Amino acid sequence: MRLANKVALITGAGSGIGRESALLFAKEGAAIAVVDLNEAAGQETVALVAAAGGRAVFIRADVSKAADVEQMIAATESAFGGLHVLFNNAGIFHPDDGSVLDTDEAIWDLTININLKGVFLGCKYGIPALLRSGGGSIINTASFVAVVGAATAQIAYTASKGGVLSLTREIAVEFARQNIRVNALCPGPVETPLLEELLADPARRQRRLVHIPPGRFAKAQEIAQAALFLATDEASFVNGSTFLVDGGITAAYVTAE
Question: Domains of the chain: which residue ranges?
Answer: 7-192+220-243
Determine which one of 157, 175, 217, 243 is catalytic.
157
Instruction: Report the DSSP beta bridge partners of residue 245.
Output: 187
Sign of dihedral through CA atoms 39, 45, 51, 56? negative
Q: At 41, is the secondary structure helix, strand, or coil?
A: helix
Predicted confidence band of residue 204 (pLDDT cuts 50, 70, 90): confident
Which residue in 115, 96, 114, 118 sits closest to 105, CA to CA?
96
81 pLDDT more than 50: yes
CA gap 142, 81 in Å, rounded: 29
Q: Which residues contact 164 (CB under 8 A, 6 or more apart)?
A: 115, 116, 119, 140, 141, 142, 143, 146, 184
**What is the average per-residue pLDDT within 212-226?**
95
CATH tag for 7-192+220-243 (out of 1.20.120.80, 3.40.50.1110, 3.40.50.300, 3.40.50.720): 3.40.50.720
- Rounded percentage of the chain residues whose pLDDT exceeds 70: 96
> Phi and psi dihedrals of 95, rounded to 5?
-65, -20
**What is the average per-residue pLDDT within 125-144?**
98
Q: Half-sphere exposure of residue 30, counting CA atoms within 13 Å on the CB side?
A: 29
Average pLDDT, the chain: 95
67 pLDDT more than 70: yes
Instruction: Using CA atoms of 254, 226, 70, 91 in order, give the dihedral in degrees to the nearest 10.
Output: 30
State pLDDT tens for residues 225-238. 999 999 999 999 99
Predicted confidence band of residue 256 (pLDDT cuts 50, 70, 90): very low
70 pLDDT more than 70: yes
Looking at residue 207, what is its pLDDT? 74
246 pLDDT more than 80: yes
Distance in Å from the first CA to the final CA of the chain: 45
253 annotated active-site: no
Q: At 14, is the secondary structure helix, strand, or coil?
A: coil
Looking at residue 22, what is its pLDDT? 99
Sign of dihedral through CA atoms 53, 55, 57, 61? negative
Predicted confidence band of residue 254 (pLDDT cuts 50, 70, 90): low
Predicted confidence band of residue 209 (pLDDT cuts 50, 70, 90): confident
Looking at residue 198, what is its pLDDT? 65
**What is the average per-residue pLDDT within 61-67?**
98
State pLDDT tens for residues 161-203. 999 999 999 999 999 999 999 999 999 999 876 677 667 677 7
Chain-centroid distance, C-alpha 112: 14
Give the angle 55-59-60 at the CA atoms, nearest 5°: 150
251 pLDDT more than 80: yes
- Rounded percentage of the chain residues whose pLDDT exceeds 90: 86
Predicted confidence band of residue 88 (pLDDT cuts 50, 70, 90): very high
Looking at residue 257, what is its pLDDT? 46
